[in-house]
Amino acid sequence: QVQLVQSGAEVKKPGASVKVSCKASGYTFSSHDINWVRQATGQGLEWMGWMNPNSGNTGYAQKFQGRVTMTRDTSISTAYLDLSSLRSEDTAVYYCARTCRGNGCAEFDFWGLGTLITVSS
């Protein structure tokens, strides 16, 4: 069965960087894009960007341009989210989720359980 397993919670100081991993299993890693979506407490879902695991191509939400990097290691079917220059407003649960590239398919059909990132001095 399809699973996206994320790394554990982290506490970071303002100005630091964080790297979150998302290990895919149960399907061909290259067949779906991996997206990152975050959710602050009591807030809605906020899309951060996508990555094509096959080509490594990425697309980031304008809000995160310059601070976010999405990469992958195809040998272990794992995607990574790097977020730098952290501030308190980045405190949120970060989810990875896969999308299927259009044509009426089931986008965001599987999600990881989420990784809580807390930014505090």
Partner 1 sequence: QSVLTQPPSASGTPGQRVTISCSGSSSNIGSHNIYWYQQLPGTAPKLLIYANNQRPSGVPDRFSGSKSGTSASLAISGLRSEDEAEYHCAAWDDSLSGWVFGGGTKLTVL
Binding piece for partner 1, criterion CB under 8 A, among 21-29, 60-68, 70-78, 79-87? 60-68
Q: Cβ of residue 13: shortest distance to partner 1, in angstroms? A: 26
52 forms part of the interface with partner 1 (CB under 8 A): no
3-class secondary structure, 8: coil
Give the one residue of 80, 81, 112, 117 binding partner 1; rule: CB under 8 A. Answer: 112
CA distances from 54 to 5, 27, 36 (A): 19, 13, 17
16 forms part of the interface with partner 1 (CB under 8 A): no
46 forms part of the interface with partner 1 (CB under 8 A): yes
φ/ψ of 13, rounded to 5, equals -90, 155
3-class secondary structure, 108: coil
108 forms part of the interface with partner 1 (CB under 8 A): yes
- Residues binding partner 1 (CB under 8 A): 35, 37, 43-47, 49-50, 59-62, 95, 97, 99, 102, 104-109, 111-114
